[in-house]
Amino acid sequence: MTNLKSHFFATLLPLLLLLHFPTVSFAQTLFVFGDSLYDPGNKQFLSQKRVDASFPPYGVTVGQATGRWSDGSIVPDYLADFMGIPHISPILQTTADFSHGANFAVADATVLGSPPETMTLSQQVSKFSENKNKWTNQTCSVAIYLFYIGSDDYLNYAKNNPSPSDDEKQAFVDQVITTIESQIKVVYGAGGRKFALQNLPPLGCLPSVKQASGDVQECVQLPSEMAALHNKKLLQLMVKLSRELNGFQYSFYDFFSSIQNRVIKSKTYTFETGIAACCGTGSLNGTGCSVDSVCTKPEEYIFFDGKHLTQEANLHVGHLMWGADPEVIGPNNLRELMVLPLDITAILADIQEAMAAMRPKQRKIESLYDIKKMESEMENHWLYHVNEASSFMI
């Protein structure tokens, strides 16, 4: 019944938007910030060394390496497809067309500080500010701002701090979240209003992490626990900003559960395995992806190499971010976020009236936007992952 309600709402919302706002415009601009999961090729413009993603077998499914850390397309590519716009070019490709936005994500990026030849989140946001004159104020206000970053912060922390106390873990997560908050506020100050965030996966289940631990059967607890703590705080931040910043709208995708489910029950989700990577060496193909160590059917794997998803897995993520129900993404999916007016107060009143007229005994539509209720439910969801860290084990 929940899925039917969500489907009904997703169908009704665009219609009511059009009725209430006959000139409502669909977002046609996408700005992307993050690390290698979102990098469309920026790394090759920064590094003086060989960038593996610029050479085969990366890109094998699409016929050529493009600087993307996958056998083919990545999540921002699919979201651009669904929006009906061209794939968003890397900002460092100076000759590219940026009329529909820009991608600032780069491999090895972190929130709190990165190794050489990459850009931290704050540097990516600064690059956006430097290039803001490429787009009108109106374009920036209705654009989608897509974020995924933090994996390397926690993987590095877990590697360097194998037995942190609870207070130490919480303090580090707070540092990461505080920095993310400051950078989102910079984008908001530049006119951004629509933010889409993909949270972190159970990092201890990455083939590279499990292989390094020497236990190929069980996911590593600390990185996954850190990711769950981060995700809880990140959701709390989104709720807080939606209350404090006028016009702030967001979409929060539960990447953690999506990957955890597919690792545990890979065949349920059409994959042959969620344990080993398609490309690499070692017990789980966790490192050393090369043309001599790549599988013949990447679409059967969740992970292409030790850290990154296959094109097929990226397609799953793209579809979930675009149109999944509130159990996976909320309070809006990307399809809904794209068409929401910057001031939705009036339209919410109309939706409430329409739903009450059609289904008077159903719960009122404002409950779908009940942030306090969502905060409580989602916090309990993440708290479950934190308290049941053993459930990460395969």
Cβ atoms 162, 216 nearer than 8 A: no
**From CA 70, how far away is CA 28, in angstroms rounded?**
25
- In 10 A of CB 125, how many CB atoms? 23
| pLDDT, position 313 | 98
308 is catalytic: yes
Percentage above 70 pLDDT, the chain: 80
249 beta partners? 194
Residues in a beta bridge with 330: 252
3 Cβ contact list (under 8 Å, min separation 6): 325
Q: Which of 87, 100, 230, 308 is catalytic?
A: 308
Model confidence at 379, pLDDT cuts 50, 70, 90, reads very low
Q: Three-state SS for 279?
A: strand
Q: How many CB atoms lie within 10 A of CB 21?
A: 16
**What are the tens digits of pLDDT across the range 148-174?**
999 999 999 999 999 999 999 999 999
Q: Is the pLDDT of residue 346 over 60?
A: no
> In b/e form, how buried is each residue of 23-41, taking b as 16+ CB within 10 angstroms?
eeeebbbbbbbbbbbbbbb
- Mean of the pLDDT values across residues 195-216? 96
3-class secondary-structure state, position 33: strand
Nearest residue to 28 via CA among 102, 125, 77, 101:
101
pLDDT of residue 215: 87
Residue predicted with more confidence, 13 or 101: 101
CA 74, CA 76: separation in Å to the nearest integer?
Answer: 6
* pLDDT at 212 (0 to 100): 96
256-271 per-position pLDDT tens digit: 999 999 999 999 999 9
Whether the predicted pLDDT of 341 surpasses 90: no
Q: Using only the alpha carbons of the chain, give its radius of gyration.
A: 21
User: What integer is the mean pLDDT of 91-116?
Assistant: 94
- The number of CA neighbours under 13 Å toward the Cβ of 295 is 22
Of residues 237, 246, 247, 220, the one with CA closest to residue 378 = 237
CA distance linking residue 318 with residue 239, whole number of Å: 23
In angstroms, the CA 270 to CA 360 distance is 40
- Specify the higher pLDDT residue, 366 or 56: 56
pTM for the predicted model, two decimal places = 0.84
CB atoms within 10 A of CB 291: 11
